[in-house]
Structure 1
Amino acid sequence: MADHSNDKQAFDYIVVGAGTAGCLLANRLSADPANRVLLIEAGGRDNYHWIHIPVGYLYCIDNPRTDWRFRTEPDQGLNGRSLIYPRGKTLGGCSSINGMLYLRGQARDYDGWAELTGDDAWRWENCLADFMKHEDHHRLDDGGDADAAHRDFHGHGGKWRVEKQRLKWQVLDDFATAAVEAGIPRTRDFNRGDNEGVDYFEVNQRSGWRWNTSKAFLRGVEKRGNLSLWHSTQVLGLEVEKGEGGEPRCCGVKAERDGERVVATASREVILSAGAIGSPQLLQLSGIGPADLLAAHGIPVVADLPGVGENLQDHLQIRSVYKVTGAKTLNTMANSLMGKAKIGLEYVLRRSGPMSMAPSQLCAFTRSSEDYEHPNLEYHVQPLSLEAFGQPLHDYPAITASVCNLNPTSRGAVRIKSRDPRQAPAIAPNYLSTPEDRQVAADSLRVTRRIAGQPAFAKYAPEEVKPGVEYQTDEDLTRLAGDIGTTIFHPVGTVKMGRDDDPMAVVDSHLRVRGLRSLRVVDASIMPTITSGNTNSPTLMIAEKAAGWILKSQ
């Protein structure tokens, strides 16, 4: 391999990772033609057709063309099972392979971040403007059905498109009515700070196509003369030099591009946006992390930051499957050549139907018990069922009601296994490792049963296939949760922000890495606690806020 590391290429800003956060950052930082910006992505261009057809997530997850194909370590909470752990490896990152669901979380999430960091910039009312700045919400289109309050919470004309789903299912409509009968109110908007209620998800799509951050923030902008995009480029580590007063300064990155080793330098900042797995891995490889871990791999310590890679949080979904009678579900529609042909034709002609589906259609936020003052459960309800992701649909009509604990207390870790940047790190989520999480798991399955047992759903004669009505005790249900639980692909927290007196905080409230100059982390890894909902759009908000800080510090 040729080594051109002495032929350094100079920029003002280097953004590592052209995913959810990186695409927006590149857009904002390069808006000023005086800023020379380099955006680096390990994956290729997002020109794979299945990225853009919504149901194509089925063909993008665990596909080396679009996914890093990580796996977790065997997990005791999952009774020794290991899970696939998808992370996007293409322009747009996870926004190119995820579920396209637009959720912000709850106001209390952001108010909690403000308390943990001592910075009111993270309070809900101060994050709302960052959400709205890039939003393009369908209800604010000409002729939209927005009420006055909606305009106070949503933006229009931004790059991040939010639309209604393009299909409904009667069996899901009736499940929603059953949820209301079980005490969950209806809602028209999950994104005003209190997401309690039941309704269909809104999605990041445009006219039946996936809307990823590459389309939203790079399309057209990529032609700016001051923005360089290096895709299919593996970052090997960070370049660090001694700065003023002996404090180390991040001055660039080492990378492998077109079979050659190269170095790119940054006169102002390097920004890691490689995600909750990639960012801590790169920090550790570069000597920034727990000193004992670095020593174990013979890596000189640049900054002893014990929190790098720790505090991993994720949403574990527990999938209950109900066999139904007299209902149209995807199981029956897609289990024949004629049915598949009809589905394909509907999408070609109208951009609607099952091929326009997000992975989940119906949503509900509620409480696992009266002990909680706020919704601590989220449902993803689907008109289909299968044994596991990637396996065939069942040959009987059924729905799946997946439920996740929004605020898990279990904490895991991401740690390098070697000095080789191409070797995946050890990912250990430690699901269900606390008594609180095990209790919520058992209680959440009982909530699912309560909804399925309501009169509105009785006409389908629902039969619980998973986990099975024979399992009733807390011990039984917790064990079954470990058997059937799967990640919902929301890893966060591994480079968490916090106060100066928090020894596990890696970045400050403006996302600057402690102990170094000119290095920030801007992605989901900086969340001190996971948001109470899907994490993609909160990551965009983080990038929007960080872009403002970076530009003001020029």
Structure 2
Amino acid sequence: MIMKSLAGWRFFVAAAIVGIFFFNGFCFSQKAPNYRFMHEATSAPDVSFYDYIIVGGGTAGCPLAATLSQNYSVLLLERGGSPYGNPNITYLSAFGAALSDLSPASPSQRFISEDGVINARARVLGGGSCLNAGFYTRAPTTFGDGLGWDADLVKESYEWVEKKVAFEPPVKQWQSAVRDGLVESGVTPYNGFTYDHIYGTKIGGSIFDLDGNRHTAADLLEYANPSGLTVLLYASVHKILFRNQVGERPRARGVIFRDASGTKHKAYIKKGGKSEVIISSGALGSPQLLMLSGIGPEKELKSHNITVVLDQPWVGSGMADNPMNAVFVPSPADVEVSLIQVVGITQIGSYIEAASGENFAGASTTRDFGMFSPKIGQLSTLPPKERTAEALARAIDAMSELDDSVFNGGFILEKVMGPVSKGNLTLRNKNPNDNPIVHFNYFQEPEDLERCVSGMKIIEDIIESKSFINFRYNDMPVPVLLNMTASAPVNLLPKHMNVSTSLEQFCKDTVMTIWHYHGGCHVGKVVDNDYKVIGVDNLRVIDGSTFTYSPGTNPQATVMMLGRYMGVKMLQERLASEAAK
């Protein structure tokens, strides 16, 4: 036993939350693709013309741009830089470092929801696939039914993505114990390795290959027609331009963007009626840009002195973020380094997953970073305005004094399906580079809290299962583990004593994000089933902001698929129209 007092174990957990998701590992070289179509925006002309302008080079924008470039000229505008050459993105061994980087040039931009939960948004070509834990799994087949998706094209689009970025992960001791514990706890059947979303326990895919190299949505640009695509980095889009004459529907005609030096550029879509501006800026960026461009709730726009192009009350509504709650399990046995590989897809609306770290002799420098480290604010007990660099540095220094054995163990976590609880997004100001104001309203609806409690009970069963016996201390029952985890400050919400007596309170006190937020531009409210903005011509939104709930256990596969899927559909429709002339 490393520490015998409960107070000591609580600090153990706080430290382990810091260290468990950052670890040493051997770095393998990965050759960056030679994208001759990729440039910094400072090289852009003052005015340019394209068939398609895509705002946002993330998980949807990259596959969409690669597809449309096969037949038409495409401009892809990304506000961040390239992921290639950044070891904090490329190597699994550096996972968490990019999230911890708070510099203006970081690929991750931190934001804090009005709920007090620390979160992050991507600012890099490839989007969230450059920052996440890499889990790759498809949506349930029912997800696209109400959207009118073509099942065959959906399957083809997933496979197109998977040829570049998806792999079967190696499953070692910790992940195997969680897998067997899930089955022993009744999350059955065991479905083996599959990308499909099936009830029971399975091994999912990973965008990390067997050498520990990350493959992101930016890799899908390898499919592009180089002569048809221009990618501009550090290009911040400030506004969509419209032709807006009295008596006519507003028509998108281009965008205004600024480069890293602040110089303004204009890009227009070509005349002819079929060219389009497409927003793929994510659940925060897409509704934010629509509002900044004059499409949104009239009262909200006027409060910021924005000219109203279209009163669209649904823009920014229905925002949601899947709650994540985790239990740290200190292990008497060494565990392997692993990110998310196993998932239990339950019948009760909760997904169970796990991750683990290892004992790093002499690796104190790795503790500066982590998925929940002080450097990204997850462990801070200070109000946001008091989180100075000095205060965070003191917290990091405290962690460096801990015994290496503190970092041996793992997490079992749960994600609430849906969720049912919804929030909203409004503008903070007129600067597109600043975060908007976001409420997620975690556990506002009782159904979400019930799902969390049910998921926590399954986690308890896993920890107490025979399959998990080698990875837990016999004198640390589940209530002690819950109290340890709850006592570690994981968000800005007020804490309660003895929360393990109430799983409901545990869920509320320890809620974190799993970075799967969505909504703000829902199908049927802001866009139609072809992702065209309702009431406006030549403008679409194609990304996770259109989702009413997060698809599957991780949405990245489906967002990448959607970019490819809609690109193919748009090509088919436009080519057929041109052939008919």
- Please give the range of the TM-score, normalised by the shorter of the 2 chains: 0.7 to 0.9
Q: 1:525 to 1:253 in 2, by over 3 A?
A: same
Between the two proteins, the alignment pairs up a number of residues equal to 468
Q: Please tell me whether the aligned partners of residues 52 and 210 of structure 1 are also in contact (alpha carbons under 8 angstroms).
A: yes
Q: Does 1:520 align with 2:536?
A: no
| Corresponding residue of 2:111 | 71
CA distance in 2, matches of 1:44, 1:25: 18
TM-score (norm 2): 0.75
TM-score (norm 1): 0.79
Q: Percent identity?
A: 25
1:179 is aligned, of 178, 182, 185, to 182
Q: Please tell me whether the aligned partners of residues 41 and 233 of structure 1 are also in contact (alpha carbons under 8 angstroms).
A: yes
| Corresponding residue of 1:361 | 341
CA distance in 2, matches of 1:407, 1:423: 27
Q: Please tell me whether the aligned partners of residues 30 and 226 of structure 1 are also in contact (alpha carbons under 8 angstroms).
A: yes
Q: Over aligned residues, Cα RMSD in angstroms?
A: 2.6
| Cα shift at 1:220 | 7.4
Q: Does 1:214 align with 2:218?
A: yes
Unaligned stretches of 5+ in structure 2? 1-41, 359-366, 375-398, 485-497, 575-581
Q: How does 1:115-514 map to 2 (within 5 A)?
A: 120-121=148-149, 127-136=154-163, 160-166=164-170, 168-185=171-188, 186-192=190-196, 194-208=197-211, 209-215=213-219, 217-219=220-222, 221=224, 224-242=226-244, 246-257=248-259, 258-267=261-270, 268-325=275-332, 327-329=333-335, 354=337, 357=338, 359-368=339-348, 376-384=349-357, 389-390=372-373, 395=406, 397-462=408-473, 463=476, 464=478, 465-468=480-483, 471=499, 476-498=502-524, 505-514=525-534
CA distance in 1, matches of 2:228, 2:182: 52
| Cα shift at 1:5 | 12
Q: 1:170 to 1:82 in 2, by over 3 A?
A: closer
**Deviation readout 1:312-357 (Å, 9 max, x if unpaired):** 12221100112232x2125xxxxxxxxxxxxxxxxxxxxxxx4xx5
Q: Please tell me whether the aligned partners of residues 319 and 466 of structure 1 are also in contact (alpha carbons under 8 angstroms).
A: no
| Corresponding residue of 1:38 | 75
| Corresponding residue of 1:344 | none
Unaligned stretches of 5+ in structure 1? 76-80, 115-119, 137-159, 331-353, 369-375, 499-504
Which AA in structure 2 matches 1:201? G
| Corresponding residue of 1:89 | 123
| Cα shift at 1:221 | 3.7
Which AA in structure 2 matches 1:455? K
Secondary structure of the structure 2 residue equivalent to 1:87: strand
Q: 1:247 to 1:361 in 2, by over 3 A?
A: same
Secondary structure of the structure 1 residue equivalent to 2:290: helix
| Cα shift at 1:126 | 5.6
**Deviation readout 1:166-208 (Å, 9 max, x if unpaired):** 4x3323322322221111221124433x422224332113442
Q: Please tell me whether the aligned partners of residues 41 and 91 of structure 1 are also in contact (alpha carbons under 8 angstroms).
A: yes
Q: Does 1:530 align with 2:550?
A: yes
CA distance in 1, matches of 2:165, 2:430: 40
Which AA in structure 1 matches 2:522? K
| Cα shift at 1:433 | 0.9
CA distance in 2, matches of 1:16, 1:517: 16
| Cα shift at 1:394 | 6.8
Q: Please tell me whether the aligned partners of residues 15 and 271 of structure 1 are also in contact (alpha carbons under 8 angstroms).
A: yes
Q: Please tell me whether the aligned partners of residues 482 and 500 of structure 2 are also in contact (alpha carbons under 8 angstroms).
A: no
Secondary structure of the structure 2 residue equivalent to 1:210: coil
Q: 1:328 to 1:169 in 2, by over 3 A?
A: farther
Q: Please tell me whether the aligned partners of residues 114 and 438 of structure 2 are also in contact (alpha carbons under 8 angstroms).
A: no
CA distance in 2, matches of 1:44, 1:259: 15
Q: 1:254 to 1:86 in 2, by over 3 A?
A: same
CA distance in 2, matches of 1:11, 1:291: 31
| Cα shift at 1:219 | 3.6
Which AA in structure 2 matches 1:380? E
Which stretch of the first structure deviates more once superposed, 527-536 or 9-18? 527-536
**Deviation readout 1:346-373 (Å, 9 max, x if unpaired):** xxxxxxxx4xx5x3233221234xxxxx
Q: Please tell me whether the aligned partners of residues 189 and 195 of structure 1 are also in contact (alpha carbons under 8 angstroms).
A: no
